[in-house]
């Protein structure tokens, strides 16, 4: 039985889930592109997000300045493959403009932004905010999601809110896993959870072997 986040981390670590995805699970770790990907992936599959990101790259607008100045109609067209494109186009451009307005550059944004600021931006909820902080800004911020909830449900845990789930995942982890920085531990942990659940699911059920 898994008693805490450290045990879950160590259990997942045995599976070498991310060895094909180093140095870090999220593509373009530490890059501005992560912000765009974090919004595009909302209720969408990552393979679809990659198509949209490639469209943006081809048009040379996958940058803070590019996304501030592109027409919203053109932006919608380029991100159509990821679904929910009207909302997401507004979110992406709105957030880009807000970053430019409040911080001036992606680098300043990364070093100064607070979670509360992100949560005030339209289209940025707790998961998107944490994804940006963790994978774009390399902060010590754990991301939890539907996969995390499903995995822990398979181990018998239920949580009412995003923050409750996150608190369980964070509580004891950083002090017990020391070969990486805390920021990397959180980033790695979330990545392992997603890859494990993807690889061990039948429908919405997570299949556990050798442990329960």
Partner DNA sequence: GGCCAGGTGTAAA
Partner DNA sequence: TTTACACATGGC
32 is an interface residue for DNA by CB under 7 A? no
Assign 126 to helix, strand or coil.
helix
CB of 158 to DNA, least distance (A): 13
Q: Please say which residue, 5 or 187, places its beta carbon nearer to DNA.
A: 187
Pick the binder of DNA from 125, 176, 180, 181 (CB under 7 A).
125
The dihedral through the CA atoms of 16, 20, 24, 27 has a sign that is negative
Q: At what angle do helices 33-40 and 46-58 cross, to 10 degrees?
A: 130
The contact pattern for DNA, residues 36-55, with x = CB under 7 A and - = no contact, is: -xx--xxxxxxxx-------
Of 53-61, 65-73, 125-133, 165-173, the window that binds DNA (rule: CB under 7 A) is: 125-133
| Piece of 3-11, 107-115, 127-135, 169-177 that binds DNA (CB under 7 A) | 127-135
86 is an interface residue for DNA by CB under 7 A: yes
The H or E element that residue 151 is part of is helix 146-154
Q: Which is nearer to DNA, 6 or 128 (CB)?
A: 128
Residue 42 Cβ vs DNA, minimum distance, rounded to whole Å: 4
Q: Give the C-alpha distances (Å, rounded to integers) separating 34 from 8, 13, 88, 138, 169.
A: 26, 24, 14, 11, 22
Q: Which two tokens stand for residue 103?
A: 């911080």
Distances (CA, A) of 11 to 5, 6, 165, 195: 10, 9, 18, 13
Structure tokens at 194: 């997603």
Q: Is 87 in the site for DNA (CB under 7 A)?
A: yes
**By CB under 7 A, residue 117 contacts DNA:** no
Residues that bind DNA (CB under 7 A): 25-26, 37-38, 41-48, 80-81, 83-88, 121-129, 131, 135, 145-147, 162, 194, 198, 203-204
């Amino acid at each position: 039985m898994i008693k805490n986040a450290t045990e879950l981390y160590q259990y997942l670590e045995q599976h070498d889930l991310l060895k094909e995805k180093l140095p870090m699970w999220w593509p373009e770790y530490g890059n501005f592109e992560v912000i765009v990907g974090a919004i595009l992936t909302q209720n969408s599959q990552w393979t679809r997000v990659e198509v949209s990101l490639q469209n943006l790259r081809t048009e040379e607008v996958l940058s803070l300045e590019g996304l501030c100045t592109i027409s919203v109609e053109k932006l919608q067209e380029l991100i159509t493959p990821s679904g929910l494109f009207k909302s997401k186009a507004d979110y992406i451009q709105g957030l880009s403009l807000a970053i430019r307005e409040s911080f001036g550059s992606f680098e300043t944004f990364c070093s100064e932004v607070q979670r509360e600021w992100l949560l005030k931006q339209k289209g940025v909820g707790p998961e998107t905010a944490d994804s940006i902080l963790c994978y774009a800004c390399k902060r010590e911020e754990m991301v939890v999601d539907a996969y995390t909830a499903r995995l822990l449900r398979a181990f018998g845990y239920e949580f009412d809110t995003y923050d409750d789930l996150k608190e369980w995942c964070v509580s004891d982890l950083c002090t017990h896993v020391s070969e990486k920085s805390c920021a990397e531990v959180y980033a790695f942990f979330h990545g392992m959870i997603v890859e494990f659940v993807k690889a061990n699911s039948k429908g919405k059920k997570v299949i556990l072997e050798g442990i329960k």
